[in-house]
Amino acid sequence: MRILVVEDAVDLAEAIMMRFGRTGHALDHAASAAEAEDYVRHQEYDLLILDINLPDKDGFTVLRGIRAAGITTPVLVLTARAEIEDRISALDYGADDYVVKPFDFRELEARARALLRRRQGIASGATVHGNLTFDRAGAKITVADRTMVLPNREFRVLEVFLGNLGRVLTKAEIVSQVYGFDDAPGPNAIELYVARLRKKLQGSSLAIRTRRGLGYVAELVA
């Protein structure tokens, strides 16, 4: 999943990026409204974490612009304003949820997780695909009776495949879901993750097939 953090307070932005980076998500950072609008025009995101008090325009303006452009990406608003009117405005302008500063990072993460799950149309933390169980909250998978905790990036690559069953994905598409602009690796990294995943998925209902010259397609097998 790819997340854009829009926050001009550098310390806070870095702390958020660090927390979410640890869970293996791709992250980009915008320090102003103009930068955020630029990112959103060029890249599709699965979640926006949007501060309301920005140096150039307020976050409400960014939010209205995004929704007016037909972009449906979930938006989690950060507001330092405790007034009920501001929170209502955020929701009226099309935010999906909000957190009032100062917040506990665990709350921010839990709310972000809920929005990302909703984005995938999944109601609970775990999904079952034949004999494969994919447990988001626990960051682990179970194949038949074997439970494995996957390293973050491997887990996110598998998440991308499960969200796109039967669809051919290029390596570049996978990279854009798992890495931000600043830490994007070469396509070889994806080959490596796929090789590791295949090993762990042996005997499971999920097969990741290579489409030569195109990329990969994940399919459920009987």
Instruction: Name the site residues for Ca ion (rule: CB under 5 A).
Output: 8, 51, 53
* Closest approach of Ca ion to the CB of residue 82, in Å: 15
Smallest separation (angstroms) from Ca ion to the CB of 58: 10
Residue 178 near residue 188, CB atoms below 8 Å? no
Task: Select 51 or 96, whichever has its Cβ closest to Ca ion.
Answer: 51
Q: Which is nearer to Ca ion, 102 or 186 (CB)?
A: 102
Nearer to Ca ion, 8 or 14 (CB): 8
DSSP secondary structure string, 147-215? EEEPPHHHHHHHHHHHTTTTS-B-HHHHHHHH--TTS---HHHHHHHHHHHHHHTTTSSEEEEEETTTE
When the beta carbons of 8 and 56 are compared against Ca ion, the nearer one is: 8
Q: How far is the CB of 37 from Ca ion (least distance, A)?
A: 16
Least gap, CB of 177 to Ca ion (angstroms): 28
Residue nearest to Ca ion as judged by C-beta position:
53
Residues 6+ apart with CB under 8 A from 13: 5, 7, 29, 31
Q: How many CB atoms lie within 10 A of CB 182?
A: 10
- Cβ atoms within 10 Å, residue 138: 13
